[in-house]
């Protein structure tokens, strides 16, 4: 469909309006999150410094890595669930103070790999990334460079911001809205959804007392006509959607990599682990199929609407198509590995069953021998007694 036809579809206009609204929300949160992240960093830094005499000097190890942060083998009320064996006893203090601000300090899904541990003392955003979804670019250390879901996740997972938000569920709802918009295969939103979603954005802006025109700009989006200026923002919304989609693809690649490693480590192990792997692979396969469907739709959409395609979008879509093809290849590799693992497990079971049968036979033989021995012994006792 060309430009006139595209905007004659009310549900597509709603999708654009919601995409633009998310961008307005994100821009409105920039200053708020930037100030908050820096205050959080100062707070943690002051507490860490207090553990080392309160000198105020930047306390940093500079040798540890986020890969060294491990789960505790056993949890207790006084344990966070995570630890790091820092040779200088510095990074474990940072870890403790960071986790004190995490709403779920025992969660297995804290994304330490987002962060450069050597920069915890110097860069507030290396702390903030710990509260963000997996896959944050280590070069992105400004709110303008972050996806809206990353900003919302900091507000959701960090207790430093909790007192400012009246209904905490709204953050989960807004993250879900972002995901629904970015993963929409048909780029359509109903009137009811549009109004409900924008109302949630307005509620958060009101809760956080965001200054400037953010609230009024969001309020206008519901009823605004699609004019030339708004069409420019449509291009930005589409670029943002493709960028979000690319980020989500990277996370799926990471999940595939983890699955490959898990399959390799668990090959030949118990059926319970195999069933867990099969469930993980099934879920991942569904994700790949869903992303493939969306990618095909996006490619088709841009092909039919060359008026909104600039070289930046064109390059992102090409990259996205390549990523989806790689996902298909990776999915095949994992399915093949799983099939091989099941064959090994089947052989292992057959061997185990065979050994079990042999053991049973041997046991029966031993029992019979014992019975014969006891009979002979009783016979000897009887003979001796006579």
Residues 50 and 196 in one domain: yes
Q: Of 198, 221, 244, which residue sits at a domain end?
A: 221
Give me the pLDDT at residue 330, please: 67
Q: Note whether residue 358 is domain-resident.
A: yes
Residues 191 and 239 in one domain: no
Separation CA 15–CA 92 (nearest Å): 46
| Among 28, 254, 229, 234, residue whose Cα is nearest residue 148 | 28
Give me the pLDDT at residue 77, please: 44
Separation CA 176–CA 172 (nearest Å): 6
Contact 114, 129 (CB under 8 A): yes
Q: Note whether residue 385 is domain-resident.
A: no
Parent domain of 252: 228-369
| E strand map for 133-198 | none
Beta bridge partners of 70: 83
Give me the pLDDT at residue 131, please: 93
Give me the pLDDT at residue 3, please: 47
By three-state DSSP, how is residue 102 classified?
A: strand
Number of other residues whose CB lies within 10 A of the CB of residue 234: 21
Assign 3-state DSSP to the chain and report helix, strand, coil percentages, each to 5: 75, 0, 25
Which stretches in the chain have pLDDT values below 50? 1-3, 74-79, 268, 270, 272
Give me the pLDDT at residue 363, please: 63
Residues 210 and 235 in one domain: no
Q: Note whether residue 384 is domain-resident.
A: no
| Among 266, 229, 185, residue whose Cα is nearest residue 15 | 185
pTM of the model: 0.70
Q: How many domains does the chain have?
A: 2
Give me the pLDDT at residue 211, please: 83
Residues 27 and 160 in one domain: yes
Contact 273, 267 (CB under 8 A): no
């Amino acid at each position: 469909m060309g430009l006139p036809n595209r905007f004659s579809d009310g549900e597509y206009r709603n999708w654009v309006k919601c995409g633009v609204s998310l961008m307005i929300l994100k821009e409105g949160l920039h200053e708020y999150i930037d100030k908050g992240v820096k205050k959080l960093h100062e707070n943690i830094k002051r507490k860490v410094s207090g553990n080392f005499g309160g000198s105020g000097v930047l306390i940093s190890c500079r040798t540890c890595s986020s890969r060294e942060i491990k789960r505790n083998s056993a949890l207790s009320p006084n344990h966070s669930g995570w630890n790091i064996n820092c040779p200088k006893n510095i990074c474990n203090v940072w870890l403790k103070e960071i986790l004190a601000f995490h709403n779920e300090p025992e969660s297995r899904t804290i994304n330490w790999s987002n962060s450069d541990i050597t920069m915890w003392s110097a860069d507030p955003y290396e702390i903030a990334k710990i509260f963000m979804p997996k896959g944050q670019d280590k070069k992105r250390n400004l709110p303008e460079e972050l996806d809206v879901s990353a900003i919302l996740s900091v507000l959701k997972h960090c207790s430093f911001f909790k007192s400012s938000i009246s209904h905490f569920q709204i953050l989960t709802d807004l993250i879900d809205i972002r995901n629904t918009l970015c993963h929409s295969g048909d780029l359509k939103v109903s009137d009811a959804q549009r109004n409900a979603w924008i109302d949630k954005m307005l509620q958060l802006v009101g809760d956080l007392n965001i200054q400037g025109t953010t609230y009024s700009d969001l309020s206008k989006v519901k009823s605004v006509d699609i004019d030339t200026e708004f069409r420019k923002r449509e291009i930005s919304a589409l670029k943002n959607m493709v960028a979000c989609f690319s980020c989500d693809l990277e996370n799926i690649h990471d999940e595939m990599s983890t699955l490959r490693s898990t399959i390799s480590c668990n090959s030949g192990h118990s059926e319970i682990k195999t069933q867990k792997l099969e469930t993980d692979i099934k879920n991942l396969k569904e994700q790949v199929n869903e992303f493939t469907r969306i990618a095909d739709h996006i490619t088709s959409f841009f092909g039919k609407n060359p008026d909104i395609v600039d070289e930046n979008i064109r390059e992102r879509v090409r990259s996205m198509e390549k990523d989806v093809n790689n996902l298909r290849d990776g999915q095949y590799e994992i399915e093949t590995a799983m099939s091989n693992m099941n064959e090994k497990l089947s052989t292992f079971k057959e061997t185990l069953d065979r050994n079990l049968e042999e053991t049973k036979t041997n046991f029966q033989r031993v029992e019979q021998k014992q019975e014969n021995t006891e009979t002979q012994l009783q016979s000897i006792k009887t003979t001796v007694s006579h």
